[in-house]
Chains A and B, each alone.
Chain A
Amino acid sequence: MSITVNGAFAELLSQLAVCLGVPKCNSYAQSRENEDGSRMVATDNGNIIISANSSPSGYIRKDSQLGVEPLRGCGTSKYYANFVAVLWQQGGNVKTMEDAAVYNFTGCSFAPSANYSSVDAQLMTVGTVYEQIIREENAPKVIPTQAGLAVIKIEFTLSYKLPDCNLGAPSCGAPAPSPAPPLPAFLQKFLDSTLIDDPTIVAAMAKFSGKIVNSTWGIKLLDGGIFYPYVGGTSFEHKFNLINADDTDAAYRISWNGGYGHNGFGIQPNGVNAWANTHYNESIHGIAGQGAFFLYSRTQTGNVQTCDMGAFDGVRSSNLFPRVTIVNPDRLYLRLQSAGAGFVPSQTSTIRTYIWTRDNPANVRALVNSSSLLVQTEALNGLPTVNTYLNCLNNNNVPQFHSYRAIGCQGLCRYSLTNAEMIDMSAAIDELMLDLGRNV
């Protein structure tokens, strides 16, 4: 059976392929080996997403990307494909599966396989949440996304085979691919939990995750730490901890409360009643005399008594008030396992990366606004016994000092960071913000 995608659906695929960076060359196809042995191929006309060389049940990981490497060569084996399409159409009905069921492999002279089985037509309405309509292998299925969102993902399986041809022939592609390295397990889990497959986000997160696994600050972060990247644009996607993306409180999944805005720039608390519980309790999960908090602020403020994250149990405190009036205006006020007046150098900027850490009983050190290294004597007073809240101060289990600063990412580390680690981590966060288009 001929396999052709035509009409509006083909246009959609074409747009998707362009979004994924698939080059529209005329000489060879491109492919990538997936972790499960499947392969995805972008054809010459750049508008097809294909994979799997193992079995009809071969599955493309949703983070797979197209066109990152040239095709090694063509073969005669029958290839099976698992095809993923995401429709972003707003309103009305999407095309039926019948529209998506045919595709013409033109680029590399792919011969359609006779094994392709037609899919059942299913008229799907944008905005409706579907369970899997048909459960058999190779049958089309609709992956539900979040209720209320006008996004539907359609998955179905098709097959094709490659023609006989020689390695390096114009129709077969360039030689010598090197398999793309697999994503770190924690990032893969994060993507699986959040259902994020936006290629820009995946690429940015892959780059940042590489810095985590290849840095000393990152290794520290990976041991029970928290990093909320706030990618995806919804409260569901924003609640997950990159380091452990289980959907549980024990993994420090965020519990949101009150009025928030969520968008592609991160989170926007309303400064009135918005607060979030990390479920991280320093007295249980932290280490006395160690630790680091961090965040990326996108909002410049005046002198306001608002807190971006913190816990205070009546005696011990870990928190950040970036610009307040304490005796004198423009005071940066941050503490970590401290008491007393806090860490109060003059400060007028409240944007970009803040990292503050404790590494001995006497000192708290900080890197603020992605640039200034500060150190202040601030006696260790023990670990706060209440949970760390975000976008406010947890004042003995009462959220207070609600902040309206837009936050690009934030988190904490159980271990202290050196000055060099803070500088390196700040640069990595700044680069992540840049890659996500939310730097200030």
Chain B
Amino acid sequence: MEMGKQVAIIDKITVGYLEGGVYDGGGTKYAPAQDAHGNWFITEEEIKGTTSPKFEWVKTLELSPYYPPPSPPLPMG
């Protein structure tokens, strides 16, 4: 993971609203995820990439630093 990533923290209701929503002309869907503190977020790239009028409001979300969760162990089969 690159350093300095920015994300927007969102609540659980917003997660349900955004999850699976298409945000651009190529059919890209939001993929809300949880950070190291268990907070749900969407990423800066999803916000910047949003062209769907339905989700224009995400551009007003405040960005904050991303705290990545620990990486799971590599699957060894």
Contact = CB atoms under 8 A, between A and B. Distances in A.
Contacts of B43: 258-259, 270, 272-274
A305 B72 CA distance: 9
B74 A321 contact: yes
Contacts of B29: 255-258
A117 to B, nearest CB: 34
Query: Most chain-B Cβ atoms within 10 A of its Cβ — which of A237, A255, A258?
Result: A258
Interface stretch (A17-25, A360-368, A397-405, A425-433): A397-405
Contacts of A271: 1-2, 5
Contacts of A317: 75, 77
A146 B66 CA distance: 32
B75 A393 contact: yes
A210 to B, nearest CB: 28
* Chain B binding surface SS class: loop
B45 A259 contact: yes
Nearest to A314: B75
B52 to A, nearest CB: 9
A235 B24 contact: yes
Nearest to B44: A259
Nearest to A396: B75
* Chain A binding surface SS class: loop
Query: Most chain-A Cβ atoms within 10 A of its Cβ — which of B32, B42, B51, B77?
Result: B77
A258 B26 contact: no
B38 interface: no
Contact of B1 (A272, A316, A326, A400): A272
A256 B77 contact: no
B7 A272 contact: yes
Nearest to A238: B26
A262 interface: yes
A342 B51 CA distance: 41
B61 interface: no
B66 A272 contact: yes
Interface stretch (A2-10, A80-88, A333-341): A333-341
B33 A404 contact: no
B28 A257 contact: yes
Interface string B36-77: 000000111110010100000000000000101001101111
Interface string B1-22: 1100101000000000000000
Contact of B46 (A259, A262, A395): A259
Given A238-B26, A271-B2, A312 B75 contact: yes
Contacts of B77: 312, 315-317, 338-342, 381
Contacts of B27: 235-236, 239, 255-256
A305 B74 contact: yes
Contacts of A236: 24-27
A324 B46 contact: no
Nearest to B35: A272
B51 to A, nearest CB: 4
Interface string A250-269: 00000111111110000000
A338 B45 CA distance: 34
Contacts of A237: 26
A297 B5 CA distance: 21
Contact of B71 (A146, A260, A305, A342): A305
Interface in A219-266: 234-239, 255-262
B66 to A, nearest CB: 6
Nearest to A335: B77
A148 B46 contact: no
A176 interface: no
A274 B74 contact: no
Interface in A384-401: 393, 395, 399-401
Interface of B: 1-2, 5, 7, 24-33, 42-46, 49, 51, 66, 68, 71-72, 74-77
Closest 3 CB pairs of A and B: A235-B26, A259-B45, A339-B77
